[in-house]
Amino acid sequence: MSSTWPGEGDLRDVAVVGAGPSGQFIAAELHRLGIDVALLERRSSSAHGSRAIGIHSPALAALEPSGATDRILEEAARIRRGEARTRTRTLGTVRFDHPGKRFPFSIAVPQSVTEAALSEIGPVSTRDADVVAVENAGDTVRLSTVTAGRRTEIRAKVAVIATGASGRHLVAGGSKSRTYPDHFLMADVPTGGRDSEDTAVITLERSGVLESLPLPEGGRRVVAWDAEFGTADPARDPLTRLRAAVEQRTGDAELAASIDAVSSFRIRNVLLRRMRSSRIFAIGDAAHEISPIGGQGMNLGLLDAASLAPRLALLLRDRAGAELELDRWERRRLESAGFAAKLAALNTFAGRPRSRSGHALRSIVVASALRTPVGGVAARAYGMGFDRDADFR
């Protein structure tokens, strides 16, 4: 599809700021609904590599009408079950493949694949467009943009901020945040080790949690709580520490030896107090930055976009009740983000190192819980089943 620069004399229906998954998806949905959209992106090209990889069943269903789901599934690993373990035994299993679900699995797929699928169905983005200010102006929004050193002003009836954390300042209302001391090491490896290609594994050991998630083409992503962060011998670099953590916590020397590159991250949760300021809306990480432990952040943004697009169409077409629907959208999305943040905090707490007795107690509690209906509740929670818009259609 073609895209023209939204010049100073133009008035677009919607200006979407940010061409990550959430921004591309809402632009595509609005375009599908017949809304005129300008998609603005600060980056000169799409980022490569695999960052957010998890897409859960409700987000797959939300993407389906656009046609993106089939394209994404072509390159995805399907995750049908999860196991909680210690090094020596399996504590319990949760299943994501319950009958009756439209998509009885979660998937793992590189974010670049998701962005490519969305780019094929929506408007082409205008790149190198750095939006530095957004302001309500009656029934329109003014966006100040710097491109190639030249500042211009764009007007739209509605602006959607989907920039990620870097654009959070563009939305008024303040935020609440929590930064955690926890530090994690992560790597994508080409081998699946000893685990099934459809199984996500959480290993709980005294030295901290280790997650192992299937990747397309048989690989695994491993994420480990970094027990040596801040106190490690400088000679034990992050790669050495991650290899040691994988072998010590899982006993899988083959998987540990296959790690040849590592990245690290800290975590925090940031939630805007409001996702709307008159005709300016925030979605995705711009509105709620959630710990990646649990893989819900991108899904929140996709459900933000899917549920907001039809309501913006009502507003732009002057339909009765549009304002009430948008207020309802904001309440539901704030509630969903708050639940995801609490779940992320629980994941972080549960995965921290424990004393010998604390580890034994944790193992007993997890094993006992997964033998009861709590296991089904856990599967629903981790699969986004409690999101307020999981079945919005």
The model's confidence at residue 235, banded by pLDDT at 50, 70 and 90, is low
To the nearest whole number, what is the mean pLDDT of the chain? 91
User: What count of residues does the chain have?
Assistant: 393
Angle at 236 (CA atoms; ends 234, 240), nearest 5 degrees: 150
What is the distance between the alpha carbons of residues 131 and 154, in angstroms, rounded to a whole number? 10
Span 370-379, mean pLDDT?
91
Contact between 291 and 348 (Cβ < 8 Å) = yes
Give the count of alpha carbons within 13 A of 380, CB side only. 13
How high is the pLDDT of residue 3?
A: 45
pLDDT at 286 over 60: yes
| β-strand pairing of 208-214 with 199-205 | antiparallel
56/379 Cα distance (integer angstroms):
11
Is the pLDDT reported for residue 328 higher than 80? yes
Which of the listed ranges 23-27, 145-149, 191-195 does the model predict with the highest average pLDDT?
23-27
37 or 47, higher pLDDT:
37
Q: Does position 230 have pLDDT exceeding 90, yes or no?
A: no
Q: How far apart are the first and last CA of the chain?
A: 27
- Residue 8: pLDDT band (50, 70, 90) is low
164-218 confidence digits (pLDDT tens): 888 888 988 889 999 999 999 999 998 877 788 999 999 999 999 999 999 998 8
Q: Closest by alpha carbon to 140, among 274, 298, 272, 6? A: 6
Give 377: exposed, middle or buried? Use CB within 10 Å, 0-12, 13-18, 19+. middle
**215 SS3 class:** coil
DSSP-based three-state secondary structure for 161? strand
Please give the helix or strand (H or E) that residue 281 lies within, else none.
Answer: strand 280-282
Q: DSSP letters of 74-99?
A: TT-EEE-EEEEE-SS-EEEEEES--T
Is pLDDT above 60 for 90?
yes
Give me the residue label for tokens 């909680």.
Answer: 84
Q: What is the mean pLDDT of residues 387-392?
A: 86
Q: Provide the CATH topology of domain 11-54+64-76+111-177+268-350.
A: FAD/NAD(P)-binding domain (3.50.50)
**What mean pLDDT do residues 46-71 have?**
86
pTM of the model: 0.93
- 229: pLDDT confidence band, cut at 50, 70 and 90? confident
Q: Characterize the bridge pairing of strands 81-85 and 199-205.
A: parallel
- Name the least confident of 4-8, 219-223, 267-271, 295-299: 4-8
The C-alpha atoms of residue 206 and residue 229 are separated, in whole angstroms, by 16
pLDDT tier for residue 43 given thresholds of 50, 70 and 90: confident
For residue 7, is pLDDT > 70?
no
The alpha carbon of residue 134 and the mean position of all alpha carbons in its chain are separated, in whole angstroms, by 25
Residues above pLDDT 90, as percent of the chain: 78
pLDDT of 139 > 90? The answer is: yes
Domain boundaries, the chain: 11-54+64-76+111-177+268-350
- DSSP states along 57-72: HHHHHHHGGGTHHHHH
Q: What is the DSSP letter of 219?
A: -
pLDDT at residue number 1: 42
3-state helix, strand, coil in the chain (%, to 5): 35, 30, 35
Q: Read off the pLDDT of each residue in 101-129 and give the average, rounded to a whole number.
A: 93
What pLDDT is attached to residue 4?
46
User: What is the CB-side half-sphere exposure of residue 158 using CA atoms within 13 A?
Assistant: 24
Provide the edge-to-edge strand list for the sheet that holds 175-189. Answer: 90-95, 81-85, 199-205, 208-214, 220-225, 175-189, 263-272, 288-289
| Distance, CA of 19 to CA of 118 (rounded, Å) | 10
* Integer CA distances (angstroms), 15 to 241, 275, 391, in order: 45, 16, 27
For residue 332, what pLDDT band results from cuts at 50, 70 and 90?
Answer: very high
Q: What is the mean pLDDT of residues 335-364?
A: 95
What's the average model confidence in pLDDT over 320-336?
97
Q: What is the pLDDT of residues 249-271, one digit of tens each?
A: 999 998 999 999 999 999 899 99
